[in-house]
């Protein structure tokens, strides 16, 4: 089913469009697991949006899956972003925005991107992530 949700394709997919190169959670023990032959886009968890009810369902799903992983002493490779990608694999967003709408200050801006709409600031992941920055 299509959800009235807007998502951004991750900057990692800017030039790499092969799903084998996307950082999906590949460990079957995690609730965020996506099999190697599945997946279409890799979405960033930095920004997404939609109607309140749809956002509630999405956030609730990611929270519950993360909690299940925690009970099983596992953390998805990219935490909530991994769970978001699992959710969106089976609940397709209606609007998918390309990476230039959400670029990162970590990376230089390629010549073919004329305008960056939103720029992510550099942050100290080791400071904000309990797993040391992954």
Catalytic residue among 81, 100, 111, 127: 81
* Residue 80 known to bind ligand: no
The token pair at 49 is: 């949006």
Tell me the three state secondary structure of residue 25: coil
Q: How far is CA 45 from CA 15, 72, 81, 111, 112, in A?
A: 19, 23, 5, 25, 24
Tell me the three state secondary structure of residue 35: coil
Active site residue 80: no
Calpha distance 48→54 (Å, rounded) = 11
Residues with a catalytic annotation lie at 81
Can you say which residues are annotated as belonging to the binding site? 81
């Amino acid at each position: 089913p299509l959800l009235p949700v807007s998502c951004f394709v991750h900057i990692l997919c800017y030039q790499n469009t092969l799903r084998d190169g996307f950082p999906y959670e590949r460990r079957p023990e995690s609730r965020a697991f996506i099999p190697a032959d599945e997946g279409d886009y890799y979405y960033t968890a930095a920004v997404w949006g939609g109607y309140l009810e749809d956002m509630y369902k999405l956030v609730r799903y990611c929270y519950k899956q993360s909690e299940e992983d925690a009970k099983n002493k596992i953390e998805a490779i990219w935490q909530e972003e991994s769970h978001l990608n699992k959710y969106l694999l089976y609940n397709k967003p209606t609007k998918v925005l390309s990476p230039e709408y959400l670029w990162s200050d970590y990376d230089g801006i390629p010549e073919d991107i004329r305008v960056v709409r939103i720029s992510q600031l550099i942050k100290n992941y080791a400071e904000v992530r309990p797993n040391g920055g992954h």
